[in-house]
Amino acid sequence: MIEHIKHTAAGAACALLLAACGGSSDTAAPALPPVAVTPVATKLELLSSTTRLMDTLVFQGGSAYLSLANSATEGSSVLRATLPLTAASTWSPMGLGACGMAPIGDFIGRAPKIKLVGQDVWLMQPWADLPETLGEHTTCSLSPDSASFVPRDQDLRSCNPYFCETLSMQDLKLAGNRLYSNPGGGNNLFTSKDGGTTWQVIRGTKESQMCYATKFHVIGDRVLVGGECPLDMAFVEAYRLTPDGGALASEDKLPMTLPEMENRNVQFIESVPGTEIVYVGVEGGLLRSLDNGRSFKFVIHEPLSDAKGYPYIGAFLPLKDNPGTIVIGGFDKMHGRPYLAWSDDSGNSWKDISTLVPGYDKKTDDEFSTPSISALSQDPQGRIIVVTNERADGQGRLLLLTLGTN
């Protein structure tokens, strides 16, 4: 190897001397032999499975945390395993105490969602007013010693003249030193400046709403919101925030360019870190903005009728080391199948790899049996982990996704 480097350096020096002395430069350099590239297949490998529904997976402090829904006989749970994850990893249940969700006699599946927000692992779950669920909590976080989850919903209790309830949130995000969330559904958007101890209403009211929960994303001094409220009236809107982020500076909507939304409910709003690219998942499509959410165009757009598929995209993952590579997932409502796709050119084109997902061939018209991707994440080793369920109410699968060249 050392001799090769010496010869290469000597050859380069001779070439420079010839050029300096007027030597001929018309002779073409010999062509280098082509470098053989071995195609790598895109594949999914099983890491773990269960008969229950898997919801979400997060990583913190050398551990992985995976949430499981309740079943007809078992309460909800959060499992923990030591990193890195392999097919031989041991998953141990954590004590949830008041943060667990009990089984219900007439089975109602309820899944806890866990999310790493800043340095804290949060648990969000639906509240139910039933004898079996007395004393349950909707919002918890991992204790400082990482041994259990502790309630954090003391300011989400809402009462009217007829009943009291604890508002459930579907998402939680950190922007600056503020938390933002959507407790109670509908147009509700709350913020907290004290880590979730108290909450202030930005939009909506401090009570449950009948519409789908607002999806939201804070970009600088603007907040983007989207949903379908009233029902069948889909929207994406932007508002200016006050300098401290604690309220809307005005009820007036900011200018935004959007294609016709029809009645496509919004599934998520997320940006790609370090860029001005923002994505909005909607029923049957995916919108992209290249100017920090001021204008959007469809990059996936299936018609309401006569489409080849109709994906509901709820899971979104831009890769940390390569933000131009994006993985998306959900389910194809038209065919009752899971949906998984990826792009290596910042969303200009998409490779549909849904056929690799367990349950793809089990076509069904039963919405409670539809396989779906519930979450996508990237572990500390940079690997892509897919959480999927072969049924809408169970048969969870934890999968390792390798993106190939073919």
CATH number, domain containing residue 62: 2.130.10.10
Model pLDDT, residue 28: 52
pLDDT for the residue 355: 96
Q: What is the mean pLDDT of residues 401-406?
A: 87
Answer yes or no: are the C-beta atoms of 151 and 139 closer than 8 Å: yes
| Token pair for 134 | 């007395």
Q: What whole-number distance in Å separates Cα of residue 301 and Cα of residue 305?
A: 12
Mean pLDDT (whole number) for 379-395 = 94
Distances (CA, A) of 83 to 53, 61, 88: 22, 9, 11
- The CA distance from 107 to 23, in Å, is 87
Please give the full DSSP string across 61-113, using - where no structure is assigned.
Answer: TTEEEEEE---SSS--EEEEEESSP-TTPPPEEPB-GGG-----SS------E
pLDDT at position 2: 37
Q: Which residue has the higher pLDDT, 394 or 329?
A: 329
Within a domain: 4: no
Whole-angstrom distance, CA of residue 31 vs CA of residue 204 = 68
**Domain interval for residue 170:** 39-402
Q: Average pLDDT for residues 145-156, to the nearest whole number?
A: 93
Asked whether 386 and 329 are in contact (CB, 8 A), the reply is yes
Indicate the range of 213-222, 332-341, 361-370, 383-392 predicted with least confidence: 361-370
- Residues of the chain with pLDDT > 90, as a percent, come to 70
**226 and 237 Cβ atoms separated by less than 8 Å:** yes
CA distances from 43 to 6, 55, 141, 243, 362 (A): 43, 21, 34, 47, 19
Q: Tens digits of per-residue pLDDT, 65-96?
A: 999 998 888 889 999 999 999 999 999 999 88
Q: Which residues of 119-131 are buried (b: 16+ CB within 10 A; e: fewer)?
A: ebbbbbbbbbeee
Could you tell me if 211 and 231 are in contact, meaning their C-beta atoms sit under 8 angstroms apart?
yes
3-state secondary structure of 204: coil
Tokens of 25: 């430069």
**For residue range 112-123, what is the model confidence (pLDDT) as tens digits?**
999 999 999 999
Q: Are 230 and 211 spatial neighbours (Cβ–Cβ below 8 Å)?
A: yes
Residue 176 lies in a domain: yes
Per-residue confidence (pLDDT) for residue 9, from 0 to 100 = 40
The first and second tokens of residue 85, run together, are 């994850």
CA distance linking residue 298 with residue 214, whole number of Å: 20
Supply the pLDDT for residue 26: 45
What are the tens digits of pLDDT across the range 310-323?
Answer: 999 999 999 999 98
Mean pLDDT value of segment 185-190: 95
Would the pLDDT of 21 be above 80?
Answer: no
User: How far apart are the two ends of the chain, measured CA to CA in Å?
Assistant: 34
Edge-to-edge, what's the strand order for the sheet holding 215-219?
A: 215-219, 222-228, 234-240
Cα–Cα distance measured from residue 94 to residue 92, given in angstroms and rounded to the nearest whole number? 7
Count of domains observed in the chain: 1
Is the bond leading into 230 cis (omega within 30 degrees of zero)? Answer: yes
Is residue 119 domain-resident? yes
At residue 159's C-alpha, the angle toward residues 129 and 207, to 5°, is 85
Say which residue, 169 or 41, is predicted with more confidence: 169
| Any domain includes 8 | no
What does the pLDDT read at residue 40? 76
Q: What is the pLDDT of residues 337-357, one digit of tens each?
A: 999 999 999 999 999 999 999
223, pLDDT greater than 80: yes
Average pLDDT of every residue of the chain: 88
**pLDDT surpasses 80 at 38:** no
What integer is the mean pLDDT of 276-301?
97
Q: Which amino acid is at 382?
A: G
- Alpha-helix residue ranges (DSSP H) falling in 293-392: none
**pLDDT over 90 (residue 48):** yes
Label residue 11 by pLDDT band (50, 70, 90).
Answer: very low
3 part of a folded domain: no
> Per the domain annotation, does 12 fall within a domain?
no
Q: Which residues pair with 68 in a beta bridge?
A: 54, 77
Q: For residue 202, name the pLDDT band (cuts at 50, 70, 90).
A: very high
Does residue 27 lie in a domain region?
no
Closest CA to 173 of 240, 223, 208: 223
* Percent of the chain whose pLDDT exceeds 70: 88
**Other CB atoms closer than 10 Å to residue 140's CB: what's the count?**
25
Q: What is the pLDDT at residue 368?
A: 64
The two beta strands, 178-181 and 189-192, are antiparallel
What is d(CA 157, CA 153) in angstroms, rounded to the nearest whole number? 7
Give the Å distances, CA to CA, from 394 to 33, 55, 101, 115, 249.
53, 10, 16, 20, 44
The closest of 221, 212, 347 to 292, measured between CA atoms, is 221
The answer to whether 373 and 386 are in contact (CB under 8 A) is: yes
The predicted-structure confidence for 234-253, as pLDDT tens digits, reads as follows 999 999 999 999 999 999 99
In a domain, 76, yes or no: yes
